[in-house]
């Protein structure tokens, strides 16, 4: 009898401890769960132009203040150097070769593939109200990015997009939501509305190719008419003109920062709100012969800021390599939603440690569905492989079909592990790419995309 009592006592004790542990785990899970998640994407904002990533002159006080109380990822690389493939990767957690389709007869338009589940769709299925506020003509419902969003108004400028997003956030403060704000002030033609008057005067007095943004010729992405009118345009710029363009880009960064500050203010006092700030790709300033973002895969084209402020996660700096493929698993994990197991990315905040020797792969492919350039890097080397020459580039690029570069920018001789990883990725990517039929665009969208240089006239 005494023995039975003892066993009963032990079982009761274990059950109480078990319950306590479960309660603590449940409480911890609830405390750490983000019920409202806002993803802010500044188009073409390269990392080293942000204050907390080392840019001088305090260009981004609001982003820096957020970073102080967030996890700041120092080495985040986009999987693609331009908008459509990068947006597709962020929205599906999958490489562009799997998540984006291109029509055969268009060089640069892309559509989100039908098959992969989208981040917004999963959030919506789990009871989150979803909304996107975009001033980008590319990140738009026309190209399939509306999937999973219950609200997706499009805007002509960042100011209107931010105001609408701030109003929407305030209105939905008591609901579970997932919202994206996509800002364009950092994208060419770099016409920030609140450009300082002295800069505006210089722009007004500049040549039309700078005033109108009809620039940046050599390697596609810009219309044939523009290229014909301004052949080899980057090389025609005087040093003073390049400085002026760069100042215009910096004015765009300042404006993006101000708008982010405006939205952050709207989230003040709203509990369990996670905020992520990143960019879809970088921007080149003649480091590799071009201005803007095109089809290259160097660090300046891919290195982006990533700042994650989330309930339950202390501020820290994370230096292991990460990618924007990680955004989807990270956001799902913040919302305590189990991601699909076959996603290649990592849930960054809940990861105990991110492998320092992780290999990050990026790819770019347009025009008839060939994956024509891939890169892989770890924390020492970057390897770029050009399979086929992109339009307007020499068949064999200056560095050869295989380029090996150290992170300091020096040429290296080889990096066998990266080369192997890249070849393995390419063989899968080539099988996954899918073409689609061309879909007619309405006249207005077509004109806007032409003005941005994405499609040829
Ligand atoms: Zn972009």
Q: What is the reported pLDDT for 326? A: 97
Helix, strand, or coil (residue 181): strand
Cα(141) to ligand 1 centroid in Å equals 16
Rounded distance from Cα 162 to ligand 1 centre (Å): 18
pLDDT of residue 254: 97
User: Secondary structure of the chain: what % helix, strand, coil (to 5)?
Assistant: 40, 20, 45
Measured in Å, residue 151 CA sits from the centre of ligand 1 at: 21
pLDDT for position 26: 45
CB–CB of 312/292 below 8 Å? no
Cα 220 to middle of ligand 1, angstroms: 15
The residue behind tokens 């803007």 is 292
> How remote is the C-alpha of 114 from its chain's centroid?
20
Structure token digits, residue 132: 């996107």
- Residue pair 90/324 in contact by the 8 Å Cβ criterion: yes
Q: Which residues contact 228 (CB under 8 A, 6 or more apart)?
A: none
d(CA 270, CA 263): 12
The encoded tokens of residue 385 equal: 């492989």
| 223: Cα separation from own chain's centroid | 24
> What three-state secondary structure class fits 37?
strand
Rounded to the nearest whole angstrom, what is the distance from the C-alpha of residue 82 to the centroid of ligand 1? 5
Q: What angle do CA 54, 193, 186 make, to 5 degrees?
A: 40
Q: What is the DSSP letter of 153?
A: -
- Which tokens hold the place of 210? 């700078």
Q: pTM of this prediction?
A: 0.87
Distance from residue 249's CA to the centre of ligand 1 (Å): 14
Q: Which of 88, 42, 33, 93 is nearest to 279 (CA)?
A: 42
**CA-wise closest residue to 140 among 72, 75, 91:** 91
Query: Which of 455, 375, 371, 302 lies closest to 96 in space, CA to CA?
Result: 371
Judge if the upstream peptide bond of residue 186 is cis by omega within 30 degrees of 0: no
SS3 314: coil
The separation between CA 132 and the C-alpha centre of its own chain, rounded to angstroms, equals 15
For residues 245 and 283, what is the distance between their CA atoms, to the nearest angstrom?
A: 12
Where helices occur in 33-45 by DSSP H, the ranges are none
For residues 417 and 357, what is the distance between their CA atoms, to the nearest angstrom? 11
Task: State how beta strands 36-42 and 177-183 pair.
Answer: parallel
SS3 (DSSP) at 57? coil
Strand 381-386 vs strand 402-406: parallel, antiparallel, or unpaired?
antiparallel
In this structure, what token pair is assigned to residue 290? 């071009």
Write down the pLDDT at residue 202: 92
**CA–centroid distance, residue 418 to ligand 1 (Å):** 26
Q: Are 64 and 329 in contact (CB under 8 A)?
A: no
- Burial bucket for residue 199 (CB in 10 Å: 0-12, 13-18, 19+): middle
Q: Residue with structure tokens 């204050």?
A: 51
pLDDT at 108: 58
pLDDT tens across the length of the chain (457 residues): 455 666 556 555 555 555 444 444 444 444 578 999 999 999 999 999 999 999 999 999 999 999 999 999 999 999 999 898 999 999 999 998 888 887 665 555 678 888 889 999 999 999 999 999 999 988 999 889 999 999 999 999 999 999 999 999 999 999 999 999 999 999 888 888 888 999 999 998 987 767 765 554 443 344 333 444 444 444 467 788 888 989 999 999 999 999 999 999 999 999 999 999 999 999 988 888 777 887 788 899 999 999 999 999 999 999 999 999 999 999 999 999 987 778 999 999 988 889 988 999 999 875 544 567 889 988 788 888 888 766 656 666 666 788 888 877 777 777 888 999 989 998 888 777 766 666 667 777 777 776 665 665 5
Q: Which of 357, 358, 364, 356 is nearest to 344 (CA)?
A: 358
Tokens 């109200």: give the residue. 129
**Residue 28 Cα to ligand 1 middle (Å):** 37
Strand duo 373-377 + 360-364: pairing: antiparallel
For residue 85, the CA-to-ligand 1 centroid distance in Å is 9
Whether the Cβ atoms of residue 87 and residue 147 lie closer than 8 Å to each other:
no
pLDDT for 217 equals 43
> How far apart, in Å, are the Cα atoms of 201 and each of 29, 206, 211, 251, 443?
55, 9, 11, 14, 33
How far, in Å, is the centroid of ligand 1 from the Cα of 420? 29
Rounded Cα distance between 397 and 383, Å, is 14
* Ligand 1 centroid from CA 83, angstroms: 3
* Closest to 66 (Cα-Cα) out of 40, 33, 32: 40
Q: How many CB atoms lie within 10 A of CB 378?
A: 19
Question: Measured in angstroms, how far is the CA atom of residue 24 from the centroid of ligand 1?
Answer: 43
Tokens 């994650």 map to which residue? 308
Nearest by Cα to 180 from 207, 200, 153, 199: 153
Predicted confidence at residue 452, as pLDDT, reads 64
Tell me how far apart the alpha carbons of residues 453 and 226 are, in angstroms, rounded to a whole number.
8
- Taking the C-alpha atoms of residue 82 and residue 123, their distance in angstroms, rounded to an integer, is 25
Q: Residue 234's pLDDT is what?
A: 46
Structural domains of the chain, with CATH: 32-356 (3.40.720.10)
DSSP β-bridge partners for residue 77: 303, 323
């Amino acid at each position: 009898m005494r023995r039975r009592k003892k066993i009963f006592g032990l079982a009761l004790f274990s059950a109480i401890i078990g319950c306590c542990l479960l309660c603590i785990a449940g409480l911890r899970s609830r405390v750490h769960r983000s019920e409202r998640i806002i993803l802010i994407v500044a188009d073409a904002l390269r990392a080293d132009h942000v204050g907390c990533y080392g840019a001088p002159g305090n260009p981004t006080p609001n982003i820096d203040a957020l970073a102080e109380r967030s996890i700041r990822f120092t080495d985040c690389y986009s999987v693609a150097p331009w908008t459509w493939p990068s947006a597709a990767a962020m929205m599906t957690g999958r490489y562009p070769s799997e998540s984006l389709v291109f029509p055969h007869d268009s060089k640069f338009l892309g559509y989100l593939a039908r098959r992969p589940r989208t981040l917004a769709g999963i959030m919506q299925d789990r009871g989150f109200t979803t909304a996107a506020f975009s001033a980008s003509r590319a990140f738009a419902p026309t190209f399939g990015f509306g999937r999973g969003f219950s609200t997706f108004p499009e805007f002509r400028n960042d100011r209107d997009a931010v105001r609408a997003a701030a109003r929407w956030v305030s209105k939905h403060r008591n609901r579970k939501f997932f919202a994206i704000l996509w800002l364009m002030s950092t994208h060419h033609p770099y016409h920030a509305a609140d450009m300082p008057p002295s800069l505006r005067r210089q722009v007004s007095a500049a040549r039309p190719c700078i005033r109108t943004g009809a620039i940046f010729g050599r390697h596609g992405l810009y219309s044939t008419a523009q290229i014909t009118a301004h052949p080899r345009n980057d090389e025609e710029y005087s040093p003073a003109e390049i400085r002026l363009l760069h100042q215009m880009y910096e004015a765009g960064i300042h404006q993006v920062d101000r708008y982010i500050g405006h939205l952050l203010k709207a989230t003040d006092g709203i509990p369990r709100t996670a905020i992520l700030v990143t960019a879809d790709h970088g921007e080149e300033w003649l480091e590799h012969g071009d201005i803007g973002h095109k089809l290259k895969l160097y660090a300046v084209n891919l290195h982006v800021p990533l700042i994650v402020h989330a309930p339950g996660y202390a501020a820290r700096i994370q230096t292991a390599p990460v990618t924007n493929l990680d955004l989807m698993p990270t956001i799902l994990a913040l919302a305590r939603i189990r991601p699909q197991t076959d996603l290649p990315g990592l849930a960054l905040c809940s990861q105990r440690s991110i492998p320092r020797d992780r290999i990050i792969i990026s790819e770019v492919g347009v025009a008839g569905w060939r994956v024509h350039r891939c890169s892989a890097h770890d924390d020492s080397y970057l390897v770029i492989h050009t399979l086929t020459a992109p339009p307007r580039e020499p068949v064999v690029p200056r560095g050869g079909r295989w380029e090996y570069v150290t992170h300091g920018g020096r040429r290296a001789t080889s990096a066998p592990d990266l080369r192997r990883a890249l070849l393995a990725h390419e063989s899968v990517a080539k099988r996954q790419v899918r073409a689609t039929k061309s879909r007619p665009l309405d006249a207005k969208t077509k004109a806007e995309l032409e003005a941005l240089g994405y499609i040829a006239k």
